Amino acid sequence: MAVSAPFFASPPAATTSHQSPSLSFYPPSFPRRIFTPLSSSSSLPSFRVNSAVSHSVSSTTAIKSDSPSKTLPFRVGHGFDLHRLEPGYPLIIGGISIPHDRGCEAHSDGDVLLHCVVDAILGALGLPDIGQIFPDSDPKWKGAPSSVFIKEAVRLMHEAGYDIGNLDATLILQRPKLSPHKEAIRANLSELLGADPSVVNLKAKTHEKVDSLGENRSIAAHTVVLLMRR
């Protein structure tokens, strides 16, 4: 009696003609990025940060790639940020001032949501993170509004030829409740990104009174962003 092959038998190897065409979208390796000082003779692209609050600076660093970046139809980035909450600081989330007895201790205005969104965009573009572009060791960023950082991230995104496809952010904090402020935060974030509010989503979660987040000693945020080729 003939016995059929067991269900766990290895399937036949796929031929080249059956490979998914989506594989061609991805480069064999990610290009390595290196910071190099910007000299007067350099022709590399540079960062130019603009702000209406006296935080305008000339470019001091440039990004040099030792291999060309491959043009992709879309890019995905993830951002994370966490700040300690301390008395005597304002609590600013998404550019909106939130009434609370504590705020984020940080070098800039400590906007955990905007910092997280900036890192998500920079990550999607394969660029250095917010701490490298706007280091907290630089006094020019002391107390700077985080809108400066997000506007620069948006400029770099547009310069690379991408727009926001959609963005999903999650805030994690025990207090205060963000329900009364979520729409104002989402509207302001959408405006800063130049995106329709329908593609910007915001969620808020407690940490069930566990660790520093649950004890109202810190606040965190996660963001996932999809960039679409123009």
Assess whether the previous peptide bond of 176 is cis (omega < 30° from 0): yes
Q: Is residue 99 part of a domain?
A: yes
Q: Is residue 61 part of a domain?
A: no
Which residues are registered as beta bridge partners of 226? 76, 166
What total of structural domains would you count in the chain? 1
Q: Which two tokens stand for residue 140?
A: 């020019």
Q: Is residue 89 part of a domain?
A: yes
pLDDT of residue 63: 46
pLDDT of residue 69: 57
Instruction: Give DSSP secondary structure letters for 124-156.
Output: HHT---HHHHS-TT-GGGTT--THHHHHHHHHH
- Say if pTM beats, i.e. exceeds, 0.85: no
pLDDT of residue 105: 81
Q: Is residue 53 part of a domain?
A: no
Domain ranges, residue 180: 75-229
Contacts of 135 (CB under 8 A, 6+ apart): 141
pLDDT of residue 74: 95
Q: Is residue 158 part of a domain?
A: yes
Q: Is residue 170 part of a domain?
A: yes
Q: Is residue 3 part of a domain?
A: no
Contacts of 214 (CB under 8 A, 6+ apart): 174, 206, 207, 208
Q: Is residue 156 part of a domain?
A: yes
CATH classification at residue 186: 3.30.1330.50
pLDDT of residue 145: 87
pLDDT of residue 37: 37
Per-residue pLDDT of the chain (230 residues; tens, 9 = 90+): 454 444 444 444 444 444 433 434 334 443 444 443 333 333 334 444 444 434 544 444 444 434 435 689 999 999 999 999 999 899 999 999 999 999 888 777 889 999 999 999 999 999 998 888 878 787 777 778 889 999 999 999 999 999 999 999 999 999 999 999 999 999 999 999 999 999 999 999 999 999 999 998 999 999 999 999 99
SS3 101: coil
pLDDT of residue 228: 97
